[in-house]
A and B are shown apart, each in its own frame.
Chain A
């Protein structure tokens, strides 16, 4: 795998930025999810306005071999519309919570997108031919005199400009009482799961009128509720295994072979709490906001408020690696609680070879951790140095009083600028980083 060796051995360069430049951000334009497809050729984003935008990597240009193809808009479509649940008097936002690509099955591409309640299967296909020739009218629609029709004419397909169409193929609705936080496609290629705060459902990709409930943690009495499901994902190649994380910082691994209802987990991953760190915020910051299996299927990564943890599936009692994302915020938890930032749900991702992990932070900073060298780096997504092929300068935040040159003080961090969603190309060192309403694409500097 080319150059995927380390997150800070490679030099990251600016490649592209998508989205509006102005400072006043329209709510609908806020990016809510970012996802590469399995080949990395396509990159999808979803936003709060319910739109999905798909970018396609241009074919590599042989003359300019130093820069890999840029991503350009391939298709844009409105995936979800705002709705109103009349029975519960609830507004259902159109915000796209998650996008997941299906393994490619024919020339077309398929993805699942979900808002809080409804999951949709979209087909994105190309059309380059168009039928021509009518019997009873001209191509422009004017009708012919029927008496002049003396022979039959069969339409002929002729080449036309490439057209990309997105069409909804399936709508999976009415199965979730709470908000859907995750969808994940099974390695059997025919089922997927969807998780909300209290339940996980299993669907067949071709069947929309029923799903099976496989996890239900709703207590009989809602007053006894102590934890919620925060994320869930299928194992990348073992079709019977999935995990789900909870707001209490635990991860449960379930084996669907054991029984139809997976209320009893087969493994529970949990790190004993350090009593010396115990505080009012302990439980909030231990809540897991994202869980991702490594491509190999051997490890999984979890993100909590302050750290990223890597777990070996064979070891339940503690993570094999722990990386601090922004430890300097530990002393700021009180104000982060007051401005609600402490509830931000940061996601995390693996690089193609599982050797580096990436996750976001505040002030439009994002972090990478090299698992082999144990080196980490902080980078910033900003328009300031957005000349192509400019190497990104590492950033440093200074936790205590004495601030060195080039360092940023904790107090001057902008907590409104947060990077929640990032994605790493499955095969190359190309990353997509979503700031509020901009999508940055960075790639390594190829010498």
Chain B
């Protein structure tokens, strides 16, 4: 059967016998149901092309019904579909027909995979804006109601994210219904739905009338904040931030603060953690007066909480807390009310707490000024630089720039050096790697003299580390140092030491010389490269290890553009030609590659 005979010509579709332009579209449509996920995904991503070819009517009458039924597919296909449909209004005939997109998205909003549901909700929110007020009440609001009263909790959780988009444009009667439905989801039987409602509470509050916020949202907030499940209670802390932004100071005091105080002392550490984690947002939302009276004492408790996770989260916020305080009171509040607790944390029993503190404590120096920093913070920095846990020391070292601006790094250099040396020799290579990455920064702040005297030997020692990642990082480090200290310094201190390694009995070290040359040649410039580096590289072409030889070829390719034509033609070319005849396949390959890249053939 020829198949084509039974097919009518759809309106809006391109017609005519054997139309070439149809073929690619036909393939795309067929691949919507291909067995290969990748091909299906590809077709879904080009859904707009298909829709365009079909025209608006066939898209509405044929394509969308088909898509509504494809909810059995893999997550990634469904996710792509949910995303596509959010931008589909134009392809179904404009805002008047936007409601045609609701059925497939309604199905997608009930699947089990959260990412897909969230994307479907996002697209529904987008499409809701394209509905006319009449269409919104005729199609969109009923959909929200269906989802909100669905049998399964996946559909009810999805509904939670849709109330806030239809509320502002709904009539008063419908508004009342929407509020009622949101209320009932806040007391749903399943914690999943209550969590979804709690996480959308703030967003919903923002679109409500102020009276309704006070009379309806606040009681919902209070009840969610005292839910039996701590996973729900902790989300109420987040809602607190959005609700607080809507209320006056007096209302905050009476309506929100009792709940927030309770959350900060919740029996469950996860809720207290949330208060600590969201502290900066809360501080901003509550304003300076409540911060001073309530939040600072609460924060002190969080800093000495019995659970380390909570202390760590609070410690992380120390700097932001200071920055968000009114400028005139900052120094006194930190000095009198926060610093005593920080001093305790420096010797905390938990290393995560100490390392969280170490990552922000340096930031306090700008707030406290030079004298306070020297008198009060410096002893803490020094203590942390001697901490047994490498993360703590690393975090201090990585933030040195903050102190440098206030008191200069010299104050620290005496303690810094032992700390750096110890980290540089740490048994864990990841720790060594981390400290190498801070070397250029440290070098810049400590200056060339200090560096040459104390740190240079470390940098050279890393070049012969037994872990490749360290040797590689050490090579890059040298390049950055040369960029900082200049070519003359390189010529005197670095280059000779690097070139000596070319005669090392260990071929890995000989290769390191080549890697260093690759990294340094550009920063060092033509003269040093030609006069000092090139002869060594060329000499190494006769190395007995093939790995070294093909790295010579690679190095020559790398430094070639820096050299002048004489050197290239006279010295590089013969060597590469010789390597091009090497017995080793790889050497040959890279030599020939270099020849063609450098146009020496």
Contact = CB atoms under 8 A, between A and B. Distances in A.
Given A106-B112, A188-B229, A151 B153 contact: no
A266 to B, nearest CB: 11
A105 B153 contact: yes
Contact of B10 (A127, A149, A151, A238): A151
Contacts of A104: 152
B192 A190 contact: yes
A222 B184 CA distance: 53
Interface in B188-240: 190-192, 195, 228-231
B33 interface: yes
Contact of B18 (A150, A153, A187): A150
Contact of B58 (A103, A136, A154, A206): A154
Interface string A137-153: 11000001111111111
A151 to B, nearest CB: 5
Contacts of A188: 191, 229, 231
A413 interface: no
Q: How large is the interface on A (under 10, 10 to 19, 20 to 34, 35 or more residues)?
A: 35 or more
B111 interface: yes
Given A125-B72, A155-B33, A260-B269, A108 B23 contact: no
A320 B191 CA distance: 32
Q: At the interface, is chain A mostly helix, strand, loop or mixed?
A: loop
Contacts of B65: 156-157
Contact of A156 (B66, B111, B269): B66
A259 interface: yes
B268 interface: yes
A152 B25 contact: yes
Interface stretch (B304-312, B392-400, B437-445): B304-312
Contacts of A259: 269, 306-307
A430 B340 CA distance: 65
B18 A138 contact: no
A135 interface: yes
Interface stretch (B1-9, B405-413, B545-553): B1-9
A94 to B, nearest CB: 25
Contacts of B32: 131, 155
Nearest to B115: A206
B154 A189 contact: no
B74 to A, nearest CB: 9
Interface in B96-138: 110-112, 114
B313 to A, nearest CB: 11
Contacts of B266: 257
A190 B114 CA distance: 11
Interface in A158-172: 169
Contact of A155 (B3, B23, B29, B191): B29
A260 B53 contact: no
B152 A131 contact: no
Interface in B137-160: 152-155
B29 A105 contact: no
Contacts of A157: 65-66, 69-70
Nearest to A144: B3
B153 to A, nearest CB: 6
Contacts of A206: 114
A286 to B, nearest CB: 33
B62 interface: yes
A391 interface: no
Contacts, number: 142
Contacts of B26: 135-136, 146, 149, 152-153
B469 interface: no
B230 A240 contact: yes
A103 B190 contact: yes
Nearest to A148: B4
B7 A150 contact: yes
Contacts of B583: none
B17 interface: yes
A154 B63 CA distance: 6
B104 to A, nearest CB: 12
B19 A150 contact: yes
B192 to A, nearest CB: 5
A107 interface: yes
A239 interface: yes
Contacts of A18: none
Interface string A410-429: 00000000000000000000
Given A104-B152, A260-B269, A260-B307, A152 B229 contact: no
A239 B230 contact: yes
Contacts of A136: 26-27, 30
Interface string A101-117: 00111111010000000
Contacts of B9: 150-151
A212 B185 CA distance: 30
Given A189-B190, A260-B309, A239 B229 contact: yes
A154 B29 CA distance: 7
Given A151-B22, A154-B54, A188-B191, A258 B4 contact: no
A395 interface: no
B7 A151 contact: yes
A32 B19 CA distance: 62
Contacts of A240: 230, 268
Contact of A138 (B1, B22, B190): B1
Contacts of A155: 29, 32-33, 66
Nearest to B25: A152
A68 interface: no
Interface string A333-362: 000000000000000000000000000000
Contacts of A154: 29, 54, 58, 62-63, 66
A129 interface: yes
Contact of B53 (A105, A106, A152, A239): A152
A69 B111 CA distance: 29
Interface of A: 103-108, 110, 123, 125, 127, 129, 131, 134-138, 144-157, 169, 187-190, 206, 238-240, 256-260
User: Which 10 A-B pairs give the minimum distances between C-beta atoms?
Assistant: A257-B268, A135-B26, A157-B69, A154-B62, A147-B18, A148-B4, A106-B152, A188-B231, A106-B154, A151-B7
Given A131-B69, A154-B62, A187-B229, 17 more contacts: A104-B152, A105-B154, A105-B192, A106-B152, A106-B155, A131-B70, A135-B30, A149-B23, A152-B25, A153-B29, A155-B29, A169-B112, A188-B229, A190-B191, A239-B191, A258-B267, A260-B307
10 contacts: A106-B111, A106-B154, A131-B66, A151-B9, A151-B10, A152-B13, A154-B66, A156-B62, A157-B70, A188-B231
